[in-house]
Amino acid sequence: MSTESTTPITTQRVHWDLNYDVHLGATWGRFMQGLTEQRILANRCPECSRVFVPPQAYCESCFVKTDEWLELPPEGVVEAFTVAWQGFRGGPTPPYAIAGIRLDGASTLLMHYVGGLDLGNPHTVREQIGPGTRVRAVWAEQRSGQILDIAHFEKI
Ligand SMILES: [Zn+2]
């Protein structure tokens, strides 16, 4: 019996449906607690003075703990953005916009949704949320200590 002409099976469909708890650690735990109170907490490196949001337990440049905390305003500027035209399972209904937002006083970008835009015409998106656009956080009515306690950002 020859097996040369048979096509090998290369994939098999499986189903995973998992619920699990993610251990946040002290730094992200404090950040998430702040979100429940509509506060955006950041921390600062004592060596290079960069301000991280989301906060980091240590500065990857200076190799020191970043345990000086501060609260940032819920406003900032869009530095980069993209629009998702295709949906992902468990994600929002497309189209939706995601931006890298530099909150006032932050050295890093916070990635988040930008709502309230007219995404019907791709050619007008840049005019609406191009780099330099000022945005502010819109808080979720129900907050439980997750990044979506900020429902999205909107243009100011
Ligand atoms: Zn540093």
Dist. CA 24 → ligand 1 center (Å): 22
For 16, 97, 100, 102, 128, the CA distances from 118, given in Å and listed in that order, are 36, 10, 19, 22, 8
Dist. CA 67 → ligand 1 center (Å): 11
Dist. CA 78 → ligand 1 center (Å): 24
In the chain, domain spans: 25-155
Dist. CA 52 → ligand 1 center (Å): 10
Reduce the DSSP state of residue 149 to 3 states and report it.
Answer: helix
pLDDT tens-digit profile, the chain (156 residues): 555 678 889 999 999 888 999 899 999 999 999 999 999 999 999 999 999 999 999 999 999 999 899 999 999 999 999 999 999 888 899 999 999 999 999 999 999 999 999 998 888 988 999 999 999 999 999 999 999 999 999 999
Dist. CA 90 → ligand 1 center (Å): 36
